Amino acid sequence: MRAHQNPSKNTIKLSCKNIWKVYGDDPDQFFTSGNGAVANAHAHADQITKDNHIVANADVSFDVHVGEIFVIMGLSGSGKSTIVRCLSRLVEPTAGEVMLDGEDLLRKTESELIEIRRHKMGMVFQSFGLLPHLNVIDNIAFPLKLQGVAENERYAQAERVIELVGLQGRENNFPKELSGGQQQRVGIARSLAVEPDVWFLDEPFSALDPLIRKQMQDEFLRIQSVLHKSIVFITHDFHEALRIADRMAIMRDGGIVQIGRPVDLIMRPVDDYVREFTRDVPWESILRAADIVESHQGSVSGMKKISGDTLIESLLPYLAEHESGVAVEDENGAIMGVVTARGVVAALAAGCDVDIADADTAD
């Protein structure tokens, strides 16, 4: 489990506001001037459905910060893949606003949008989409060729990303000669070749075997630790989301149910739908000291000192034998407070929805 980044709260790279995607004979009739802001999104979506239209996305709003991995997850049909396509305008939103570096993408002309996709966006989908007649390096260099980049420059850039994704020695192999994991690495390398500002990944590892999938998650996190991209990552796997997300959004019926850090969703789910996603998560392996630190008025002299990123799981044996707990330091060495065994139990209890009376009468 990785220590999540702390992306800048002040720098927004990508923002969507009140995005709706409606399918049907006349979806525009439900909105005025493309504005997706409505008083009651659920009631509005119900009315659209009653008028024989399909609501794929309903009043979706969120920001993605510079260098952040923002994960969107939900069950099949929840609207997560549609929203990522709306962000890139591969699917045209019915209403709302998509801002990239302060510019509204929905106001861009088709030619402007093509240039933005070529130079600022990287996209990786579940199907690898490799060109079977091109070898690895030509597949990776292909988007640069479309940009008109000179041959020697595009191959030099392709070589750099081949090294980044660990495909050295496979440059001349064709897709059919590669494993599924290797093909996905080519897809990732191809999307990175254009050095995108924003990276969209729609269930990129879901077609892989579990072991290879975990390896690709590790590889993805390693690449992100080097490149610090602003990433929107789609998945239906909560455990995958926990491994990679700085923040995450859970979708249902085309809308956002809850947004927050993974620990926020685990400890403070807004409803039973979110709670069901988090039910089987081993909380002690997710919680970090900073998540449950308590203020402390007295002296911490003589107490063991740990960083805020320390996993609670690793502290349990120590806390069991030291009632006073441990002192928690921030990244600058300042004392944030303390973590105690009692505090761990209180934090877990706060996120528990078990009805005591029901538990007492259960078989």
Evaluate if residue 9 carries a pLDDT over 70. no
Quote the pLDDT of residue 228: 92
Quote the pLDDT of residue 195: 85
Distance in angstroms (rounded) separating the CA atoms of residues 220 and 231: 11
For the chain, state the CA radius of gyration.
23
Quote the pLDDT of residue 356: 35
Evaluate if residue 163 carries a pLDDT over 70. yes
pTM of the predicted model over 0.95: no
291 neighbors 348 (Cβ within 8 angstroms): no
Q: What percent of the chain has pLDDT over 90?
A: 48
Instruction: For domain 284-350, say whether CATH 3.90.1280.20 is its number.
Output: yes
Per-residue b or e along 59-72, where b marks 16 or more CB atoms closer than 10 Å to that residue's CB: bbbbbbbbbbbbbb
What's the mean pLDDT when you consider all of the chain?
87
Beta strands in the chain (DSSP E): 12-23, 54-65, 69-73, 95-100, 103-104, 121-125, 198-202, 230-235, 247-252, 255-260, 305-307, 326-329, 335-339
Domain residues of the chain, as ranges? Answer: 12-278, 284-350
63 neighbors 14 (Cβ within 8 angstroms): yes
231 neighbors 247 (Cβ within 8 angstroms): no
Taking residues 1-6, report their average pLDDT: 57
Condensed to tens digits (0 to 9), the pLDDT of residues 75-112 reads 989 999 999 999 999 999 999 999 999 999 999 999 99
Helix axes 151-164, 136-146, angle to 10 degrees: 130
Where residue 350 falls among pLDDT bands split at 50, 70, 90?
A: low
Strand order, beta sheet including 54-65? 54-65, 12-23, 95-100, 103-104
Distance in angstroms (rounded) separating the CA atoms of residues 108 and 103: 9
Of the candidates 57, 52, 45, 67, the one whose C-alpha atom is nearest the C-alpha of residue 18 is: 57
Of the candidates 339, 331, 338, 294, the one whose C-alpha atom is nearest the C-alpha of residue 313 is: 339
Condensed to tens digits (0 to 9), the pLDDT of residues 238-262 reads 889 988 999 999 999 999 999 999 8
For β-strands 247-252 and 230-235, DSSP reports them as unpaired
The shares of helix, strand and coil residues in the chain, as percent rounded to the nearest 5, are 40, 25, 35
Condensed to tens digits (0 to 9), the pLDDT of residues 114-142 reads 889 888 998 888 776 889 999 999 999 99
Strand order, beta sheet including 198-202? 121-125, 198-202, 230-235, 69-73, 247-252, 255-260
First-to-last C-alpha distance (Å) of the chain: 35
Taking residues 133-157, report their average pLDDT: 92
Q: What is the CATH number of domain 12-278?
A: 3.40.50.300
HEC readout, 304-347 = CEEECCCEHHHHHHHHHHCCCCEEEECCCCCEEEEECHHHHHHH
Residue 308 has φ and ψ, to the nearest 5°, of -65, -20
324 neighbors 298 (Cβ within 8 angstroms): no
Burial class (CB in 10 A: 0-12, 13-18, 19+), 230: buried
Distance in angstroms (rounded) separating the CA atoms of residues 73 and 239: 11
Taking residues 154-159, report their average pLDDT: 92
Helix axes 180-193, 210-227, angle to 10 degrees: 20
Distance in angstroms (rounded) separating the CA atoms of residues 304 and 322: 10
Where residue 358 falls among pLDDT bands split at 50, 70, 90?
A: very low
Coil/strand/helix, residue 358: helix
